[in-house]
Amino acid sequence: MSAQCRFCDAPVKPNSMFCSACGQLVSQPVPSSARSAVPPPFGGSTATSRPPIVGSPRPMAAPAPVPLPPLATAAPAAVLGMAAAVIGPPATPGQQTDLPAASAVAAPTAVARAVRFESGQIVELTGGIVFGRKPSGKSVPTGFVGVVIPDDTRQVSRAHIAVDSRTSPPTVTDLGSANGSEIERAGHRQALQQNAPVYLEPGDRLWLGSVAIDVL
């Protein structure tokens, strides 16, 4: 049985795509065999199955940090056998402070009496002295005097070190110098920490940058 064109009702031959009378496109019915070619879902149900709802993944707990072993630190002045005591926080700008004497731990038996510069000048250690390129004003604490160290290389800071002879034995303290301070004893050199006094012994050599001072 031939189909009819839905536009002009003219008979249309089987498997024809266009109407021979009006030229319109003729839609072909889908064969029943093609409709049954698609397999039904599993279980014979025609309802569309939905994927199960999966909740958002629970955040995994971060592993607990493993503490690192503490870094090994050398005891202050362990090589030279020096005793050190921290003075405290540095003074605020414009504030004069007294430098307290270091607490004694193992005071040397011999007492330093003077220092000698590279120029040959000898300075007797009495009271408190601030050594530097130009110690003056607020850089010299109360009870101390300033002594200029000849230095053409400008390795020495304006107020480089303080030597406190108010107690015996005297101590030396770096005042936060730019190039640092070292003490040499028995062939060993060790850096001075800022505001940490160290006992002086005759025969020591102080290094202020590259400028040497001998302790007598």
- Domains of the chain (ranges plus CATH)? 1-34 (no CATH), 114-215 (2.60.200.20)
pLDDT tens per residue across span 26-50? 766 555 554 555 555 555 555 555 6
Count of all residues that appear for the chain in the document: 216
| Gyration radius from the chain CA atoms | 48
Distance CA 213, CA 102 (A): 21
Alpha-carbon distance values, 72 to 68, 69, 75, 81 (Å): 12, 9, 10, 19
Q: What is the pTM of this model?
A: 0.53
SS3 of 12-46: ECCCCCECCCCCCECCCCCCHHHHCCCCCCHHHCC
Residue 79 has pLDDT above 80, yes or no: no
- Between 46 and 154, the more confident residue is 154
What mean pLDDT value characterizes the chain? Answer: 75
Amino acid, single-letter form, for residue 48: T
